[in-house]
Amino acid sequence: GAGVSQSPSNKVTEKGKDVELRCDPISGHTALYWYRQSLGQGLEFLIYFQGNSAPDKSGLPSDRFSAERTGGSVSTLTIQRTQQEDSAVYLCASSLSAGAGANVLTFGAGSRLTVL
Amino acid sequence: AQSVTQLGSHVSVSEGALVLLRCNYSSSVPPYLFWYVQYPNQGLQLLLKYTSAATLVKGINGFEAEFKKSETSFHLTKPSAHMSDAAEYFCAVSEGAQKLVFGQGTRLTINP
């Protein structure tokens, strides 16, 4: 597609439920990132996929968070047993892995998660 | 590991005044440095980037930033603020092809 697509755009869930957030990156972009943006906070790095390399999961806040990227394209971020502090906007971004476009991230519009 | 510190979570300037948003970085290798902007209710977009070419980098909307290795800084400036510049600005650093790490952001308010 022309841009990074995220779904759902809004998700309201009850505490303790599991949620899945989807990201469809720009075709040909080998790097994919997930960030979390909480109210009044900056961009918190969650996880980074680069081609076929093992993902950098160093930003995942707890073992309730996981992400996968199938076929080097679409990624799913899963949050199990959601807590109220998980409420935030989850941003996905993709980029080329080399050359002038490296690290120039194109962001999706985000998925706003509200945990009641 | 690389890190970014943005000095001042909120900056307020008058329309027409100089805009200065501060960013200091930590990196063990020559870094790539970026400024991104997030307008209200919109996603983030790239303002400008430094990738070891000219130390003074010009971006969109009249913004520029200067890489100063001795000060480990990459401050963002604009000579004359416009009301449309009100947004949140994020500085970011990466080490080559490694992940991009963002600062906490600076919210810029423009007073009429």
The count of residues in chain B is 112
Nearest by Cα to B50 from B82, B25, B28? B25
Tokens of A40: 């009044």
Query: Average pLDDT for residues A84-99, to the nearest whole number?
Result: 88
Angle made by CA atoms B102, A33, B46, in degrees to the nearest 5: 50
CA distance A20 to chain B (A): 20
Task: Give CA–CA dist B43/A66, Å, rounded.
Answer: 23
Asked if B13 and B108 touch (Cβ cutoff 8 Å), the reply is yes
Q: Mind listing the pLDDT tens digit for each residue in A46-61? A: 998 988 888 989 899 9
Per-residue pLDDT at B96 exceeds 90: no
Strand A111-115 to strand A10-13: parallel, antiparallel, or no bridges (unpaired)? parallel
Top-confidence range, B27-41, B53-67, B74-88 = B74-88
For chain A, the average pLDDT equals: 90
Max Cα-Cα span within chain A: 44
Asked if B68 and B59 touch (Cβ cutoff 8 Å), the reply is no
Check B99 against A45: CB less than 8 A apart. yes
Q: Of A50, A103, A109, which has the smallest distance from its Cβ to B32's Cβ?
A: A103
- State which residue of chain A sits closest to B89, comparing Cα positions: A42
The region of weakest confidence among A50-64, A91-105, B15-29 is A91-105
pLDDT at position B97: 61
Angle made by CA atoms A24, A70, A97, in degrees to the nearest 5: 65
pLDDT at position A1: 55
Task: Give CA–CA dist A44/A37, Å, rounded.
Answer: 6
The region of weakest confidence among A14-23, A36-45, A79-88 is A36-45
Per-residue pLDDT at A5 exceeds 70: yes
- State which residue of chain A sits closest to B42, comparing Cα positions: A109
Asked if B21 and B40 touch (Cβ cutoff 8 Å), the reply is no
CA atoms within 13 A on the CB side of B13: 23
Query: Average pLDDT for residues B10-19, to the nearest whole number?
Result: 97
Asked if A78 and A66 touch (Cβ cutoff 8 Å), the reply is yes
Sign of the torsion angle spanned by Cα atoms B84, B87, B92, B98: negative
Check A91 against B90: CB less than 8 A apart. no
Helix (H, G, I), strand (E, B) or coil at A2: coil
Name every chain A residue with its beta carbon within 8 A of the beta carbon of B43.
91, 107-110
Per-residue pLDDT at B34 exceeds 70: yes
pLDDT at position B94: 83
